[in-house]
Structure 1
């Protein structure tokens, strides 16, 4: 089965986006040392502590550049509060997915849409 192995986040202000995601999820984000343009690599961790899906942040080249990924959190309510605290916004109300958990779509400081999901046992 195919899995997401990398994601890109487009940003008007790359350093502002870097700070937002580092503080929201604790991701390790470092400048990519090679290449002609400003690019930051994102390292995530799975719940098991193993390396998770990797990604990157780059300067937005076109207004419509965007991708939505859903990110699992332990507490959707805590994550919603943190999104707001860090300057992001909640696009729609938290919804229940029967027998699965909760989901909400958010917007980061750069206008990118992403989702949060809390799984229930």
Structure 2
């Protein structure tokens, strides 16, 4: 049986409200807040059809550079997402970069110090 290599991800945060505002701003979509023993805000996704994820505020887990690298789907608007990052308080680390035949990617640092990837086929 083959499954997706990834089915869930969590990006650790220290300032939940700041991080939520950052991701809602750069992705242009609201995030649903939930509590599953820790505070989470879910990225918009069709969870019954594949990968989902969230930002998480959890005791004992800290955000930061050099950990797991997660790639968010830029939804065909990689340049738009990258352009909103500085105004939302983040930093573009790697601008649009071709990765043939797999489309394009970029890297950014969020307001919590996490380095996160973006991917788009266009």
Which structure 2 segments of 5+ residues have no match? Answer: none
> Is residue 2:42 matched to residue 1:39?
no
Matched, 1:54 2:53: yes
**CA distance in 1: counterparts of 2:59 and 2:113, whole angstroms:** 11
- Pair 1:30-2:30 in alignment: no
SS in 2 for 1:20: helix
Measured on the aligned residues, the alpha-carbon RMSD in Å equals 2.5
**What is the number of equivalent residue pairs in this alignment?**
114
- What is the TM-score with the length of structure 2 in the denominator? 0.76
Tell me what 2:70 maps to. 69
Aligned-partner Cα distance in 1 for 2:77–2:43: 21
Question: Whole-Å Cα distance in 1 between the matches of residues 117 and 88 of structure 2?
Answer: 16
Question: How does the TM-score come out when normalised to structure 1?
Answer: 0.76
Runs of 4 or more off by more than 6 Å in structure 1?
none
- Would you say the 8 A contact 2:90–2:110 is kept in 1? yes
* Aligned partners of 2:103 and 2:119 also within 8 Å: yes
